[in-house]
Amino acid sequence: MGLGFIGLGTMGAPMALNLLKAGFKLKVYDVDPERVGKIVMRGAEPASSPREVASTSEFILLCLPSETISEEVTIGGGGVVQSAPAGSVIIELSTVPPSTIRKIASVAEPLGVDVLDAPVSGGRSGAETATLTIMVGGRRDVFNRSIPILKAIGREIYYVGSLGSGEAVKLLNNMKVLIDLVASRYALEIGSKAGVDLKLLHEIIEKSTGQSWVWTNWIPRFLQDQTVGATINIFNKDMTHAIEMAEELNIHPEVAVAALRELRQYLERGMGGCDVSMMFNFT
């Protein structure tokens, strides 16, 4: 089974390596030749363009930083859809709006190319250890064909429903994470100014009803001035799309809007490329 992988960044590179470890033949492309070289050294075949990846692959996996790039690579000048053989499957691992996936599919499906949206959650560590949670939207039969590939990069694989539903779930997950991040930041800042030892505060809340995934997994790293591999830009993108999705459904998530407003203070200071740990530099 020939696989293609486009986008070898923080998440894409370890996922590509796990596919190689699982025994898949892999052709890879990234705009950064150095990234390609590192994966080729582990057994992948290099491609000179997204078009070349698609033309020889039964499954084409994408892990790209934005919906604009995903559209360009698939239905724009990148030529993935136009080059992919009939019967092949595009698996979009990137977090993009559901409307983007449906737009890509509207071009791909008449050419006999199937599309799945399969965004992932679990961060860089989950990608490295193949323990990602993957939420998948698209046709059930196409999902079933793709299960062996998804199991090579993730541990919890969910079929959510129709095309775009996986992206919807991922955006809602990230909306909740950012709200929790902002709440956790204020809990720590207020605790600090109230004279509470922050490690003790963390321990107590960890064993109380305020415990959460962010509190358990990220706050200890922030307290040690460590990063988590998630940037302010990425959260801004995902939260913006989540709020837009809600507004389209005539729901006005004011708490999410407030959390995004907090995040954008860092964007205004030119910190978009920084890790979200930057939000916790309040001492």
Bigger pLDDT: 101 vs 79:
101
| 61-72 tens-digit pLDDT | 999 999 999 999
Residue 1 pLDDT greater than 70, yes or no: no
> What is the rounded CA–CA span in Å between residue 66 and residue 51?
19
- Residue 268's pLDDT band (boundaries 50, 70, 90)? very high
The catalytically annotated residue of 27, 103, 151, 170 is 170
Q: Tell me which residue of 71, 64, 25, 15 sits closest to 47, measured CA to CA.
A: 25
Report pLDDT digits (tens) over 86-125.
999 999 999 999 999 999 999 999 999 999 999 999 988 8
- The per-residue pLDDT for 14 is 98
Each domain of the chain, given as residue ranges in start order, spans: 2-163, 168-280
Distances (CA, A) of 189 to 197, 198, 249: 11, 9, 35
pLDDT value at residue 179 = 98
- CATH fold of 2-163: Rossmann fold (3.40.50)
Mean pLDDT on 75-79: 91
Q: Find how far residue 55's CA is from the centre of its chain.
A: 25
In the beta sheet, which residues pair with residue 114? 89
CATH topology of domain 168-280: N-(1-d-carboxylethyl)-l-norvaline Dehydrogenase; domain 2 (1.10.1040)
15: part of which helix (H) or strand (E)? helix 12-21
pLDDT one-digit tens code per residue, 5-51: 999 999 999 999 999 999 999 999 999 999 999 999 999 999 999 99
Say if CB 163 and CB 115 are below 8 A apart.
Answer: yes
Nearest residue to 235 (alpha-carbon basis) of 266, 215, 263: 263
- 10 Å CB burial of residue 86 (0-12, 13-18, 19+) is exposed
d(CA 197, CA 29): 48
pLDDT tens-digit map of 184-201: 999 999 999 999 999 999
Does the pLDDT value for residue 229 go beyond 90?
no
Whether the pLDDT of residue 223 is over 70: the answer is yes
DSSP SS3 for 93: coil
Verify whether residue 170 is a known catalytic residue: yes
Assess contact for 30 and 7: CB atoms under 8 A: yes
Parallel, antiparallel or unpaired: strands 25-29 and 45-46: parallel
Which residues does 186 contact at the CB level (< 8 Å), separation at least 6?
A: none
Of the listed ranges 134-138, 143-147, 277-281, the least confidently predicted one is 277-281
Is pLDDT at 53 greater than 80 in this prediction? yes
What's residue 143's pLDDT?
Answer: 99
